[in-house]
Amino acid sequence: MTLSRLVFRSMRKNVKHYYLYFFALIFSVTLCFSFTTLHHNPTVVEALKESGTASAGFQSATYVLYFIVTFFVLYANHLFMKRRSKEMGLYQLIGMTKGLIVRLIALENIILFILAVAVGMVIGFFSSRLFAMILIKLLKLDLVIDLVFSSEAFIQSVIIFSILLLVILFQMTWMVYRVTLLSLFHASKKADERIKRFNFFQMAFGLIGLFLIVYGYYQSSVLFDMEKSHFKDLFLHMIVILASTIFGTFLFFRYSVSFIMNIFRASKKGHLKIRDVMAVTPIMHRMKGNAKSLTLITVLTGLAVGIMSLSYISYFSSATRAHQYSPYDYILLNDKGISFLDRLHQEGIEFEKDTYRVAEVKFDFQDLIGDFANQNLTFASESSMYVVPLSDFKQVSPDAQLNDGEAIVTSYQNMFSEIMPLEKGGDLSVRFNNEEEKVIIKEIQEEFMLSGTVTMASPLLVVTDTTFENISANQSPESFFNYQVGVNLVDNEDSPKAEEIYNELQEERKLVVNGQEYLPLSYEEEHHSYLSIYGTTIFITAFLGLAFLLTTGSILYFKQMSEAEMEKESYTILRKIGFSTSDLMKGIYAKQAFNFGVPLVIGLLHSYFAVKSGWFLFGTEMFTPLVVTMVLYVIMYAVFAVISTQYYKRIIKASL
């Protein structure tokens, strides 16, 4: 028999083992190729031109993707080789040299790889259009995507996958040469922990693991807390949190799980239920081999969900952010471009308008944050803030009430309000042109009214009309902003026309002070610019997240597949002595719930605490985006648990 015939024959016989590996390969190629094709699609390139960072983002995402895929393929190949260790042992036993075996397997690998790359590229090519459409949808653009074959993407992918093939061949050669004949026959058993008694150290390490995770969570919740003053060495604290949660996760899987299960098992005094036999004992005894991969999966899950949530938070918040920056559809500063209103009238566009009288005061920031003031922080002792009279404020907040000497702080939200919550009831002394007045902060509100172009996201002060008149009569000569008109369209249908007019009047609307230009954007423009930044971001992160998800899911699935095969013998025994398939499946459900559920739950917890510690740096709303991301992730992840359970079911059915 020639080598090539042996190769084909063994491939045909091994189809069952191969298809796991084959699908892993196809899936990786599909992801990579579809991403690079997308990246080179002319329509997409055109759409992304607007935001300068998008292309760079795509480029770096490609590298991350290659990294994930390389890691994944190496892992799959490793597992695949391990499953075939007996076969390789047999070849050696009948007198093949290692060199010949390497050639044999290399040949198989190359055939398989080329096939997978070809199939993956075809799927990737077509799916790239789907992904492009999703991207365009996210950017809220109205474009038609053509399916364009990019030779650049093709060449890039071919090069990358050729390198990957070389790496795999190298890994395979290394695996074949490293092992002895004897160990080949035991390779698939190596990960099993030989049954030992559980000792004190294990218990201690288990507890340390749990403690480290809790410590990391606690630290993350106070990361941006001023009272704990972590600002100085923020980076160091992030490293500490990361290290303690990851290491804690490892210790948890390596020791805590067995420890907890051992307590549970000991309490049964030998009278186990079938579920314990099928789930608890195998999990306990495999924990040594599985701890590393479960940790990895947990961390990757946490990372993926965390990153996706944060970018979704950003995307989700674009409308709110745009609204905070441009609280009205159109804003006119002072009397600049006031003819905009006349033009709207002429065009017969209906609108509502609010007008604000504005003044500027100086104040000490430390007064606002009260006893919270922290010596470590070097805030400029004097900041400035815009003031609006109560009667104008009532346009957005009709119920507002103020007595003499009282004031409301508003437009204070997000990042600032999370890091430095203001306290109401405190005194605030405001200065204007050498005069000083004390007001009591009655309330903290979240309404936005003034254009962010001028206020630069600093809070607003609402005072009684009398106080305001006093302030405005004594304005310092530098203050330039004293009036704002906010315009909202009655009918959104008029928006395109109004946008056009607003744009035409650009020159007139410009407020120039000391060579500094202030030109407010319309809400639409503001919103669009946020969308284009965060739309690309969320697309890229979601794509990477998907890669992470598929990788972790597949790794778990592969692991479960080989576990199922290793435990087949036990299933045969159990079925022989009188346990039905459904009895055994009860245990399998529990086992799958553990293997898939625990890394998922801990990963989600990790991401929850990570997101919670700093979400306000990314957007204005945490809950909905976080929950949506998690739910989607869990649903897709569950698919792997289901197919893995199905695999077990097949094995159990076939075991008798």
Partner 1 sequence: MTVLVGRKIKKTYGKKSTAQEVLKGIDIEVSKGEFVGIMGPSGSGKTTLLNVLCSIDHPTEGVVEINGKNLRNMKEKQLANFRREQLGFVFQDYNLLDTLTVKENILLPLSISKLPRAVAESRLKELVKLLGISEILNKYPNEISGGQKQRTSAARALISGPTLVFADEPTGALDSKSATALLTNLENINKQKSVTIMMVTHDSVAASFCSRVLFLKDGSIYTELYRGDKTRQQFFQQILNTQSILGGDGYDA
Asked if 158 is part of the footprint of partner 1 (rule: CB under 8 A), the reply reads no
Q: Which residues pair with 538 in a beta bridge?
A: none
**Tokens representing 257?**
């799980």
Write down how long the chain is. 656
Exactly one of 89, 209, 248, 282 binds partner 1 (CB under 8 A); which one? 282
CB 497 within 8 A of CB 331: no
Phi, psi for 24 (deg, rounded to 5)? -60, -45
State the minimum distance, in angstroms, from the CB of residue 588 to partner 1.
Answer: 15
Asked if 285 is part of the footprint of partner 1 (rule: CB under 8 A), the reply reads yes
State the minimum distance, in angstroms, from the CB of residue 652 to partner 1.
Answer: 12
**Tokens representing 5?**
């015939």
**Which CB atom, from 95 or from 270, has the smaller least distance to partner 1?**
270
**Tokens representing 216?**
């990391």
**Which CB atom, from 5 or from 197, has the smaller least distance to partner 1?**
197
Asked if 577 is part of the footprint of partner 1 (rule: CB under 8 A), the reply reads yes
Asked if 575 is part of the footprint of partner 1 (rule: CB under 8 A), the reply reads yes
Q: Rounded to 10 degrees, what is the CA torsion of 192, 194, 199, 201?
A: -50
Q: Rounded to 10 degrees, what is the CA torsion of 259, 260, 262, 265?
A: 180
Q: Which residues pair with 487 in a beta bridge?
A: 330, 353
CB 324 within 8 A of CB 620: yes
Q: How far apart are CA 318 and CA 474, in angstroms?
A: 38
Q: Which stretch binds partner 1 (CB under 8 A): 6-14, 171-179, 270-278, 550-558?
A: 270-278
**Which CB atom, from 302 or from 587, has the smaller least distance to partner 1?**
587
CA distances from 298 to 27, 165, 597 (A): 21, 28, 10
Q: How far apart are CA 561 and CA 44, in angstroms?
A: 40
**DSSP-derived 3-state class of residue 268:** helix
Asked if 271 is part of the footprint of partner 1 (rule: CB under 8 A), the reply reads yes
Instruction: For residue 308, give the nearest of 135, 638, 72, 546 by alpha carbon.
Output: 546
Asked if 263 is part of the footprint of partner 1 (rule: CB under 8 A), the reply reads no
Asked if 124 is part of the footprint of partner 1 (rule: CB under 8 A), the reply reads no
**Which CB atom, from 182 or from 577, has the smaller least distance to partner 1?**
577
Asked if 272 is part of the footprint of partner 1 (rule: CB under 8 A), the reply reads yes
Q: What residues numbered 477-506 form the site for partner 1, per CB under 8 A?
A: none
Asked if 1 is part of the footprint of partner 1 (rule: CB under 8 A), the reply reads no
Exactly one of 146, 576, 639, 643 binds partner 1 (CB under 8 A); which one? 576
Exactly one of 348, 425, 496, 578 binds partner 1 (CB under 8 A); which one? 578
Q: Which stretch binds partner 1 (CB under 8 A): 484-492, 516-524, 527-535, 579-587?
A: 579-587
State the minimum distance, in angstroms, from the CB of residue 272 to partner 1.
Answer: 5
Phi, psi for 229 (deg, rounded to 5)? 45, 60
Q: How far apart are CA 197 and CA 262, in angstroms?
A: 10
Q: What is the largest CA-CA distance in the chain?
A: 103
Asked if 277 is part of the footprint of partner 1 (rule: CB under 8 A), the reply reads yes
Burial of 618 (0-12, 13-18, 19+ CB in 10 A): buried
Residue with tokens 């306290």: 423
Pairing of strands 460-463, 382-389: parallel
Report DSSP state, residue 193.
P
Asked if 650 is part of the footprint of partner 1 (rule: CB under 8 A), the reply reads no
Q: Which stretch binds partner 1 (CB under 8 A): 256-264, 281-289, 395-403, 425-433?
A: 281-289
State the minimum distance, in angstroms, from the CB of residue 14 to partner 1.
Answer: 24
Exactly one of 5, 194, 403, 635 binds partner 1 (CB under 8 A); which one? 194
Asked if 396 is part of the footprint of partner 1 (rule: CB under 8 A), the reply reads no
State the minimum distance, in angstroms, from the CB of residue 290 to partner 1.
Answer: 14
Question: How many residues bind partner 1, per CB under 8 A?
Answer: 28
Q: What residues numbered 42-81 form the site for partner 1, per CB under 8 A?
A: none
Exactly one of 580, 601, 624, 646 binds partner 1 (CB under 8 A); which one? 580
Burial of 211 (0-12, 13-18, 19+ CB in 10 A): middle
Exactly one of 105, 153, 284, 626 binds partner 1 (CB under 8 A); which one? 284
**Which CB atom, from 137 or from 273, has the smaller least distance to partner 1?**
273
State the minimum distance, in angstroms, from the CB of residue 573 to partner 1.
Answer: 4
**Which CB atom, from 240 or from 277, has the smaller least distance to partner 1?**
277
Write out the residues near partner 1 by the rule CB under 8 A: 194-195, 269-274, 276-277, 281-282, 284-285, 570, 572-583, 656
